[in-house]
Structure 1
Amino acid sequence: MDLNQPPGENYANPKVCLFHVLFKATALAFYILSALFIDNFVIIFVVTVLLAALDFWVVKNVSGRILVGLRWWNEINDFGESVWKFESLDQETLARLNKKDSWLFWWTLYLTAVAWVVLGIFSLIRFQADYCLIIGVCLTLSVANIIGFTKCRKDARNQIQQFASQTIASHVSSTIQSAFSVVEFTREKGRRMEDVQQQPVIASPTHYLFQIVREGITFLACTQVEMPPLMAIEFLCRVADVLSDYLEGLNEDLIKDNFVIVYELLDEMIDNGFPLTTEPNILREMISPPNIVSKMLSVVTGNSSNVSDTLPGATASCVPWRTTDIKYANNEVYVDLVEEMDAIINRDGVLVKCEIYGEVQVNSHITGVPDLTLSFTNPSILDDVRFHPCVRFRPWESHQILSFVPPDGQFKLMSYRVKMLKSIPIYVKPQLTSDAGTCRINLMVGIKNDPGKMIDSITVQFHLPPSILSADLTSNHGVVNILSNKMCIWSIDRIPKDRTPSLSGTMVLETGLERLHVFPIFQLGFRIQGVALSGLQIDKLELKL
């Protein structure tokens, strides 16, 4: 949040600001200077309290309403009960209030209370208990205004959230109606909603829905015209990445707690249905990420908006993903290869399919605007490459090198796929035999091709067939758990050197079944650090400042 006012901006209500400060200063000045000229404690008490009460009345009934659009009062309702009222102007009127007036109001309100506290400490040190009575009354009046206007400000924040909720609701009402029309269409076609929810693209006679799921949160986009599906899905991925970066996580509670910022981000990222600004670097200059300091400053200044009044400098740059004023004491850059293996092995142990899906992740902390060149020893094995916008395509097309000006911080430089791998580092050997209403299972896991690095986080998962009533499974290494949905999870972690991990046990079939007719599919997961299973290697990284 920018506390500095734009050049040339003046106070909108200078006379009100003057009296707002004058009454506070008069009460403090009289109390401090009265000891030099007046010896009568009663006179000091009466005059100081009257000045503080006058300041209390001016702040509560005049300056609070004009400078920040807030007011609070007490009234007796129809039942004879004392009721406190806290109100604020509507959101549009609050947005038009002068920021400098608000800044002066909140700072003087808090500093006055601090000044009375300091004077009270001096009175205690000097053992002047009678003067502590004066300070107690004045501090009570000051704190009462702070509490009252703070509660009023919470009402203003609720108004802003309601305004944002109503605005975004009006924007997405047609999308929700379209989604319901697609749901009804799928029901008419007799398709299961579970199957529809797993589809990234859903088509109906009138609308197209695009969806992704991140951390249990569904991001949905709707259009009435046909468009490239990858464009909508990529935009939804950008939205999810930006929200995760801003909120330092992604879940339902974080989105609810920061709903105003979420709406502000969506308003900047999409304009009239078209993706506009999706670079996190530019968005951070336009909208400040939420933090404790910004929340405290918003309370002091009375401004809850995180949107900057100035246009980010990177918007007019040829490299909008990076600003030019970045400085570091030590320049450093880290490059990591993160790969996932997708393999299918049939019941005979033959490798049917084996592919690698990988990413080149970069963490850059370099001063200025550096130019990096990254080359691989064997780039010919890469297929289906996908680059960050910072990558220049022509050097890759001609020489298969990555030339780019990196964003600041961590980002995904490129993604790729490596096809037709011939082997995997781990083997799985399942054996199932069934007879007389029972089924025996024996499952072994071991190292097939040693990658030279430690293999850990090994897990085996499989669903028990529907015809299984109960199962008694044990293992000689690791932990076996059977969940309520009949999912069996065998957590091995690391393979010991002295024995081969194995799982065995008996499963009871339904009454009337002699043999098992539907066999489970075993899913193996593992992790290896320090090695790329695809064989991809980085040759060199050149830096030009």
Structure 2
Amino acid sequence: MFPLISPPPQVAASQPLLSPSSSSQPTLSPPQPTLSPTQSPLPVDPDFQPENLCVVLPLSPLNLHPMTTRSKNGISKRKAYSASVQFVASSQPTLMFVLLFLPNSSLKTVLNKLFACHLHYSSPPPSSKGLRKLFEAKREMLQCIFLLSDSGEVMLEKQLTGHRVDRSICAWFWDQIVSQGDSFKQQPVIASPTHYLFQIVREGITFLACTQVEMPPLMGIEFLCRVADVLSDYLEGLNEDVIKDNFVIVYELLDEMIDNGFPLTTEPNILREMIAPPNIVSKMLSVVTGNSSNVSNTLPGATASCVPWRTTDVKYANNEVYVDLVEEMDAIINRDGVLVKCEVYGEVQVNSHITGVPDLTLSFTNPSIMDDVRFHPCVRFRPWESHHILSFVPPDGLFKLMSYRVKKLKSTPIYVKPQITSDDGTCRVNVMVGIRNDPGKMIDSITVQFQLPSCVLSPDLTANHGAVTIFSNKMCTWSIDRIPKDRAPALSGTLMLETGLKRLNVFPTFQVGFRIQGVALSGLQLDKLDLRVVPSRLYKGFRAFTRSGLYEVRS
């Protein structure tokens, strides 16, 4: 049993300190039993050591931000006293032990501060009870991160915990890729003989994370995606040469983004204040001074703010905010021309350059068509759950406000009709492309790509519009760009098969690409964008853009 600490007793206001009859002579109280130095009125554990007793005052800092919170409305009841006992010889109690003895409201306040710069949440943060279970569980998460080139070379290794992960796991991983091919690269979670592996591939670079404990797989995958996005933003691109030239910055970013296997600071705005992006001046100074570190000596002001995703003291001469709807259409059409699947994955991207701390509200005309929504941490959940309105304090600059999916669409903007017949060792190909549903805007950057079967010896393909390119790996690309008004683009030709093969047994799948400016094919429409604190001369803009995603036509 732990010892209890209670606040000093207070004298009631109605009880007089002196006798009402005499102000010079105090009243005598009955004698109290005296306690020996070894006695105590409180129950004490025999093994209790007084020097290990610490008093924790979970008092939150003063919050002056205009955002309405539960603590400001007096919903959470705070307690002033809390005690913890440490059983190891140390001058300070461990963070874990102190947190387990905090009240529920104080625990949630502390952990919200700790996870303020955490990953995106697709649902509200967990309750205090859930946070306690989180801290009582195993603390070790990701153990190591590797960055591999397209040839399997380990470009960067970052050990995250005391348990070192040997590089032999990378050799095993690459051997599996060589033996199993691209199908192994498409598996985000892999169980090796010794570790669980999480992988993503960006621009030919494989981000590989290792762990030996049970953990949420989406957390590891999402963190790797965030690392790739931050590196691409910092280095203005992502390839093998850029990673090697900026090795120090990449390592410093990983140091700040994850701590002891747990994601820590992942907001680009805060990272830019902590670590300066590379430029010519910084590279020259590092060569002259010999100091290659770009880490700032001061802690960013946003880390102690209620809106850690936004930098402090933002000032602009012109206040602007632009909202973009960026969508990708995924569709599958079978060999009979029937639309099997058609859905749109979209993102709402906001580019904000506003002075101060703006409070924005974005509404949609038809928000009910959106499924699988996922928000930036700046979005307040209650307005969305009640009225489907996005209320948020935006980060400074370009960021992804939310993502969504619109399912079960009925049509596609263009059609692709392939016809393949084969006889006597010769295969005839005819592909036609046209507009099925006119979106009202120009459709450009139209491409049709397909892989020729390995049994094809010599292809001979021509098109009446656009250019046809056949690469050494038998990948055929037909670049159409825009569909002319006077004729429908068509691709035709013959394929010579191997000797002894009369008919084509494997039919190719056609990958279609296109781009449409100014139209959201999902039908989603923005209603209005309001600001509670409107600065002078505010400029607002909306834009839509749609491109093809996984658009397949089977033959």
The interval holding the TM-score normalised by the smaller chain is: 0.5 to 0.7
| Pairing partner for 2:494 from 501, 506, 511 | 506
Taking only the aligned residue pairs, the percentage that are identical comes to: 82
Secondary structure of residue in 2 paired with 1:497 = coil
The superposition leaves residues 289-332 of structure 1 with CA deviations (integer Å, 9 ceiling, x where unpaired) of 11122234445555332111111111111111102200011111
Change over 3 Å in CA distance of 1:512–1:435 after alignment to 2: same
Cα deviation code 1:346-384 (max 9, x no counterpart): 111110100101111111000011011111101111011
Q: CA 1:432–1:390 in 2, change beyond 3 Å: closer, same or farther?
A: same
d(CA) in 2 for partners of 1:209, 1:174: 12
The one of 240, 246, 255 aligned to 1:252: 240
Q: Any conservation in 1 of the 2:442–2:516 contact (CA below 8 Å)?
A: yes
Q: Kindly tell me: are residues 273 and 444 of structure 1, through their superposed partners in 2, closer, same or farther at Cα, counting changes over 3 Å?
A: same
Greater RCO (CA < 8 Å, at least 6 residues apart)? 2
Larger Rg, first or second structure (1 or 2): 1
| Aligned twin of 1:535 | 523
The question of whether the paired residues in 2 share the 8 Å contact of 1:175 and 1:222 is answered with no
Q: Does 1:333 align with 2:321?
A: yes
2:168 alignment counterpart: 177
Q: How does 1:380-529 map to 2 (within 5 A)?
A: 380-529=368-517
Instruction: Name the SS of the counterpart of 1:174 in structure 2.
Output: coil
User: Is the CA contact (8 Å cut-off) linking 2:159 and 2:165 kept in structure 1?
Assistant: no
Q: Report the Cα offset of residue 489 of structure 1.
A: 0.4
Matching residue of 1:63: none
5+ residue gaps, structure 2: 1-154, 534-555
Matched residue pairs, number? Answer: 379
- Counterparts of 1:201-350 in structure 2, within 5 Å, are 201-299=189-287, 301-350=289-338
Looking at structure 2, the residues matched to 166 and 194 of structure 1 have their Cα atoms a distance apart, in angstroms, of: 24
Per-residue displacement from partner, 1:172-200 (whole Å, max 9, x unpaired)?
A: 9615233445667x59xx96254322211
| 1:72-83 correspondence runs (5 A) | none
Q: Match for 2:233: what amino acid?
A: D
User: Which residue of 363, 372, 385 corresponds with 2:351?
Assistant: 363
Structure 1: give runs of 5+ residues left out of the alignment. 1-163
TM-score normalised per structure 2: 0.65
Q: Specify the code of the residue in structure 2 equivalent to 1:525.
A: G
Residue 431 of structure 1 aligns to a residue whose secondary structure is strand
User: Secondary structure at the residue paired with 2:509?
Assistant: coil
* Cα-to-partner distance string for 1:400-445 (whole Å, 9 max, x where unaligned): 1111111111111111110000000101111111111111111100
- Matches of 1:497 and 1:166, distance apart in 2: 55
Could you tell me which amino acid in structure 2 is paired with residue 249 of structure 1? G
Q: Is the 1:356–1:419 contact (alpha carbons within 8 Å) kept by the matching residues of 2?
A: yes
Would the aligned equivalents of 1:179 and 1:209 in 2 still touch at CA under 8 Å?
Answer: no
Taking the aligned partners of 1:371 and 1:283, their CA distance within structure 2 comes to 23
Contact 1:287 1:306 in 2 (8 A): yes
**C-alpha displacement of 1:170:** 10
SS in 1 for 2:167: helix
Deviates most, 419-428 or 247-256: 247-256
* Contact 1:395 1:401 (C-alpha < 8 Å) held by counterparts: yes
Query: TM-score under structure 1 normalisation?
Result: 0.67
Alignment RMSD, CA only?
2.2
**Distance (whole Å) between structure 2 residues aligned to residue 513 and residue 167 of structure 1:** 53
- Matching residue of 1:352: 340
C-alpha change, 1:268 and 1:169, in structure 2 (3 Å) is closer
Give the Cα separation in 2 of the matches to 1:232 and 1:537.
Answer: 33
Structure 1 or 2: more helix by fraction: 1
On the 8 A contact 2:342/2:408 being kept in 1, the answer is yes
> Which amino acid letter does the alignment assign opposite residue 502 of structure 2?
E
1:273–1:496: structure 2 CA closer, same or farther, 3 Å change rule?
A: same
Contact 1:433 1:441 in 2 (8 A): yes
Please say if residues 460 and 525 of structure 1, whose CA atoms lie closer than 8 Å, have aligned partners that are also in contact: yes
